[in-house]
């Protein structure tokens, strides 16, 4: 039951992140055209939003393929993250999180 609870939590967090992302993008499309924003700030706003979209999209793609742990395994084989990563990644979530939405 522990892995199913973790799977539900992962799906919940991803759904919440997507909802917040679309809310922020929608609000920015409504508000930002009506205010004077310096070019540097436009770059930071669009760059940050783009990086957030790439991160959420990459996690969604990995989730749909049933491989959410592949990035962590890659980091472990390339010695990124150290002992804390190896200690934390001792959980069999990869099989439980395979296609939770029925994609």
Domain coordinates of the chain in residue numbers? 2-94
- From 69, 71, 86, select the one nearest 3 (Cα to Cα): 69
Long-range contacts made by residues 53-58, C-beta under 8 angstroms, separation at least 24? 53/21, 56/14, 56/17, 56/18, 56/21
pLDDT value for 88: 67
pLDDT value for 95: 45
CA 96 → CA 5, 19, 66, 86, distances in Å? 10, 24, 9, 20
> Whole-angstrom Cα distance, residue 73 to residue 71?
5
pTM (two decimals): 0.61
Among all chains, which residue has been given the structure tokens 């760059």? 47
Per-residue pLDDT of the chain (103 residues; tens, 9 = 90+): 566 777 777 778 888 888 998 998 898 889 888 888 888 988 898 899 899 889 888 888 887 777 767 777 777 777 777 777 766 665 555 444 555 555 4
């Amino acid at each position: 039951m522990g892995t199913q609870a973790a799977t539900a939590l992962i799906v919940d967090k991803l759904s919440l992140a997507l909802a917040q992302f679309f809310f922020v993008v929608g609000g920015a499309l409504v508000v930002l055209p009506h205010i004077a924003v310096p070019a540097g700030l436009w770059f930071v706003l669009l760059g940050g939003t783009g990086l957030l979209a790439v991160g959420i999209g990459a996690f969604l793609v990995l989730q749909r393929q049933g491989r959410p742990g592949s990035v962590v395994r890659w980091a472990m084989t390339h010695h990124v993250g150290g002992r804390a990563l190896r200690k934390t990644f001792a959980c069999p979530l990869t099989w439980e999180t395979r296609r939770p939405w029925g994609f």
